[in-house]
Amino acid sequence: MSQVSQSEDTADPGSMDRHFETSHLEANLGSRSVRGGVVAIGNHAFRFVIQTGGTMLLARILAPEEFGLVAMVSSITGLVALLGNLGLSAATYQRSLITHREVTALFWINVSLSVALSLIIAILAPAIAWFYGEPRLINITLILASSFIFSGLSAQHYAILTRQMRFVEMAATQTIPLVISITLGVGLAWAGWGYWALVSITVCQSATTAIATWVLSSWRPGWPTLQCNVSELVRFGSQLTGYDLLVYLMRNVDNLLIGRFLGAETLGIYSKAYGLLMLPVQQINPPLNGVILPALSRLSNQPDRFRNYYLKAVAGLATISMPVIVFAFVDADLLVSAMLGPQWDGAGWIFRLLTPAALTGTINLAPSWLFTSLGNTGRQLRWAYLSAPVIIGGFIIGLIWGAPGVAASFSISFGICFTLFAADACRQSPVKFADFLGAILPPFGASVIAASAVFIYQRFAGSNDFPGFITDIVIFSAVYLALCGSTTSGRTFMRSFFASISRKPKQLRDA
């Protein structure tokens, strides 16, 4: 198994690199990963509660326009933030062997890029305000630009925690900053700070995440040196970043167009509808990604075990995520009313139109697991190049019918592109596309049947209040779980899935 050391380099780089491969940093990797998957999922369940509570409070205190103002800037700064990472975090935990000197070089690249991008965004603040025709965006952009620096300082520390599968520490670096930033944001909103409360959440979370990763990671960078060649790592990361940038464009050009042509209030409603829809998925996907991708990378030379582990992971991802989105579709109006309050009534229709795209988004990580773990980031980037014009073109056409048209176009184009993307990911991999479909179709079918039961109940009961919403949840959950438990494989699935991610496979423990 590969290792990373925090020891200092000496005059003999070759011998020292070999010493790094047996360093103490991953010596206790097996024991640390025994309950890693459970810790990760439990942490994100807690984070989901915190984020949901924060969303409900902020949506009732602040106006849609204030969310829209921050979304205008975030759609641009989020794109630039990807350049600061340059995919080097993934390069750190994907490579089979890596040294302290190489990680140090990647750290200083991340920091340098982040500082440069922070300055560039600050300089562009007047241009961003001009583009949207909104002078308040100048100060918002200047403050948000500072968050890039903190991201650059923490990228490699978090990558090493991921590589070492130190899930408790990873959970702490995510949860502690979230609690602090949400508490600060709600407090400022309550005190009448308006959109500055939302700005403070982003900056505070980035800063506290950087502090937490430095405190909880035992790794420390050395001084910059020109003696280390990391061109291969940068090439891998650059291809991954190119893909991430194009995906980000596909996911955020709609915000850019709506903000520019339809205004801050419409963007606030649209972005909050999509954010609310994806909130559960954002709490499910990252912990599974942090557990599964490093394991798949290390199983890449064992096709049968790779395939079995991958299909369990995909089936688990679909089983957990898909019912959430399908239920959101059938109960969209009640869900928006319960979560955001009456001033967001206009989000219900947009929310429902976006659910097909969100349903695809629940398993969007699965093809990327194949590309990244097998080192095929070049092919992944090619698919992003092919998909981006289709999805962005759909946004432009959909804009004719306003925000609902943009939402519908996203669901249609993203679904088509994802299907082709997943089929190509399975090609030249140990996994067949038919196996991939076989892993996701059962939970999808069970979700649709459960949603149909809720729909039929609504037609007869006619309830349209919060108690009715709770009843819908109970009916959906009961039908879905009954269907999942109707077969032996369904009854044992969740147990075997969590067991597969909460401990390393034997071949990893013995490595």
Instruction: Give per-residue pLDDT as tens, 405-459.
Output: 999 999 999 899 999 999 999 988 899 999 999 889 888 999 999 999 998 988 8
- Is residue 225 domain-shared with residue 290, that is, in the same domain? no
User: Within a domain: residue 17?
Assistant: no
pTM: 0.68
- Is residue 272 domain-shared with residue 220, that is, in the same domain? no
Environment class of 258 (CB within 10 Å of its CB; exposed 0-12, middle 13-18, buried 19+): buried
**Domain edge (last residue) among 170, 200, 229:** 229
d(CA 148, CA 141): 12
User: Within a domain: residue 151?
Assistant: yes
CA 53 and chain centroid, separation = 19
- Is residue 306 domain-shared with residue 187, that is, in the same domain? no
User: Within a domain: residue 401?
Assistant: yes
User: Within a domain: residue 333?
Assistant: yes
- Is residue 222 domain-shared with residue 321, that is, in the same domain? no
User: Within a domain: residue 248?
Assistant: no
Percent of the chain scored above 90 by pLDDT? 22
User: Within a domain: residue 142?
Assistant: yes
Contact, 252 vs 75, CB < 8 A? yes
**Domain edge (last residue) among 202, 229, 256:** 229
Q: Which pLDDT does position 379 carry in this prediction?
A: 82
- Is residue 276 domain-shared with residue 204, that is, in the same domain? no
User: For the chain, which ranges sit under pLDDT 70?
Assistant: 1-41, 44, 82-88, 90-91, 93-96, 226-231, 236-240, 283, 286-288, 290, 462-465, 487-511
d(CA 401, CA 202): 32
What one-character DSSP code corresponds to residue 10?
-
What one-character DSSP code corresponds to residue 432?
-
- Is residue 103 domain-shared with residue 222, that is, in the same domain? yes
* Residue 222 structure tokens: 């050395």
Q: Which domain holds residue 299?
A: 266-511
- Is residue 339 domain-shared with residue 198, that is, in the same domain? no
Instruction: Give per-residue pLDDT as tens, 465-489.
Output: 677 788 888 999 999 988 887 755 5
- Is residue 149 domain-shared with residue 75, that is, in the same domain? yes
Q: Which pLDDT does position 28 carry in this prediction?
A: 43
- Is residue 284 domain-shared with residue 379, that is, in the same domain? yes
Q: Which pLDDT does position 93 carry in this prediction?
A: 64
Q: Which pLDDT does position 84 carry in this prediction?
A: 62
CA dihedral 447, 453, 457, 458 (to 10 degrees): 40
User: Within a domain: residue 258?
Assistant: no
Distance set, CA 481 to CA 319, 452, 456, 478 (Å): 10, 14, 18, 5
Distance set, CA 177 to CA 57, 204, 363 (Å): 18, 7, 27
- Is residue 357 domain-shared with residue 283, that is, in the same domain? yes
Q: Which pLDDT does position 382 carry in this prediction?
A: 84
- Is residue 154 domain-shared with residue 271, that is, in the same domain? no
- Is residue 48 domain-shared with residue 160, that is, in the same domain? yes
Q: Which pLDDT does position 481 carry in this prediction?
A: 87
* Tally of domains in the chain: 2
User: Within a domain: residue 331?
Assistant: yes
Q: Which pLDDT does position 432 carry in this prediction?
A: 93
